[in-house]
Amino acid sequence: MANILVTGGAGFIGSHTCVELLNAGHDIVVVDNFSNSKPEALKRIKAITGKDFKFYELDILELDKMDKVFKENSIDAVIHFAGLKAVGESVEKPVEYYHNNITGTLMLIKAMRQNGCKRIVFSSSATVYGVDNPVPYVETMPTHTSTNPYGYTKVMIEQILTDVCASDPEWSVSLLRYFNPIGAHKSGLLGEDPNGIPNNLFPYIAQVAVGKREFLGVFGNDYDTPDGTGVRDYIHVMDLANGHLCAVDYVLEHKGVEAVNLGTGKGSSVFDVLHAFEKACGRELPYRILPRRAGDIAWCYANTDKAKEVFGWTAKYGLDEMAEDGWNFTKNNPDGL
Ligand code: NAD
Ligand code: UD1
């Protein structure tokens, strides 16, 4: 069993992954600055697992503090979730996004290097496939364009970590390209808790279901897809969390860099997600067709062969369970965490 530093561990994906790491018997050290999360998430990780862990409230940009974390703990590997993730906001605040995500990662790499820790699992995104590649996305496809600063931070951090590996063969890097994580922990204690108006489909539907928003706006029904709405590869956050356990095992045993898709390989439309949620909450939910959202594509889903080959991992849950677990969290926590 290993001691894993989790950056951004109070966030949506980080908190669910902490649960899986603790349940698998790993020790964890969590750092977060709560810029997009709440301390309550950490309490709930402890409540679910019955286990305690060390936490540092800090910004990963602060190299001295990060260095101290490595000095005070013997860290075997890092899972790096900490980052800003709102696409629209990144267009308005590119400097803040590049600084937080890219400089933050550079500081983390420096702190790791100063302390001889050379194994990292990084939260990348399907957004690195850009708009020109055909679906399903395969890891070997070119990834050097994006439509927004957030996407470029992922493209650039993948490149930085690849270059670090090339400069020192002792490094081990796993670039996990997430598709669309939704759902929540089965306990109903942990889930997605966005600030303000949700940008993403699933938390928006959840807020319609709980009466906080009047209707879902469907961004376009004239795409070249079976029902005209955008198709995405939704993945249960617990499947995603489990994928991180495999990635940690992999970086502990191997050297070099691997990019791996974490998706289900199955595409679902906006209406598929809406109907699954309606089934879960037991009533029809109002929607209106709106114009397309700038930057959206018609199709996005993964080829999942590499995750199976390299990690022996496949997603287990379908859309119905994602909706049931997401609704269970929302109805128990209508105002979030
Ligand atoms: P989240 O916002 O819930 O979690 C990110 C966490 O990082 C938050 O707790 C935030 O407070 C923390 N953080 C941000 N900047 C920090 C800093 N400078 N120092 C310390 N802590 C900091 O987001 P999430 O959905 O859990 O996403 C986690 C990672 O996965 C992000 O890097 C995101 O870009 C990536 N990702 C997410 C999705 C998705 O749909 N949720 C898809 C692809 C990739
Ligand atoms: C978005 C980001 C992506 C990021 C991901 C996770 C964009 C263009 N892409 O992906 O970079 O990695 O979130 O944070 O923002 N939809 C509606 N109504 C809504 C919200 C969404 O119809 O209120 C539709 C969208 O048009 C899309 C689908 O639902 O077809 C999924 O949207 P969303 O949840 O925002 O995820 P992505 O756009 O795939």
- Model confidence pLDDT, tens digit, residues 264-310: 999 999 999 999 999 999 999 999 999 999 999 999 999 999 999 99
Q: Which residues pair with 261 in a beta bridge?
A: 177
The CA-atom distances, in angstroms, between 103 and each of 32, 107, 171, 196, 318 are 16, 6, 19, 26, 37
**195 has a pLDDT exceeding 90:** no
Instruction: Summarize the confidence of residues 151-174 as an average pLDDT.
Output: 98
Q: Binning pLDDT at 50, 70 and 90, where does residue 201 land? A: very high
Mutate to test the pocket of ligand 2, among 137, 177, 208, 219 (most ligand atoms within 8 A of CB): 219
Answer whether residue 144 shows pLDDT above 90: no
- Using alpha carbons, list the distances in angstroms from residue 161 to 95, 109, 125, 137: 21, 9, 15, 21
Please say whether the beta carbons of 151 and 87 come within 8 A: yes
319: three-class secondary structure by DSSP: helix
Name the residue with the closest Cα to ligand 1, atom 13.
82
Kindly tell me if the per-residue pLDDT of 17 is higher than 90. Answer: yes
Task: For residue 312, give the DSSP letter.
Answer: -
pTM here is 0.98
Inter-residue contact 218 to 290 (CB < 8 Å): yes
CA of 59 to the centre of ligand 1 (A): 13
Give me ligand 2 centre to Cα 38, in Å: 23
Active-site hit among 150, 204, 234, 301: 150
Give yes or no: 150 in active site.
yes
pLDDT in tens, 242-252: 999 999 999 99
Query: Where residue 49 falls among pLDDT bands split at 50, 70, 90?
Result: very high
CA distance 4 to 29: 6
Please state, in angstroms and as integers, the Cα–Cα distance from residue 188 to each residue in 43, 68, 171, 332, following that order.
14, 35, 38, 7
| Gyration radius of the chain's alpha carbons | 19
Residue 145 has pLDDT above 90, yes or no: no
Distance 304 CA to ligand 1 centre (A): 23
Can you say whether residue 312 is alpha, beta or left, with left for phi > 0 and alpha for psi between -120 and 50 degrees?
A: left
User: What's the pLDDT band for 90 if we cut at 50, 70, 90?
Assistant: very high
Ligand 2 atom with minimal separation from the 230 CA: 30
Q: Which two tokens stand for residue 169?
A: 């063969």
Taking the CB of residue 167, how many other CB atoms lie within 10 A of it?
Answer: 8
Considering only the C-alpha atoms of the chain, give the largest distance between any 2 of them, rounded to a whole number of Å: 56
pLDDT confidence bin for 335, thresholds 50/70/90: very high
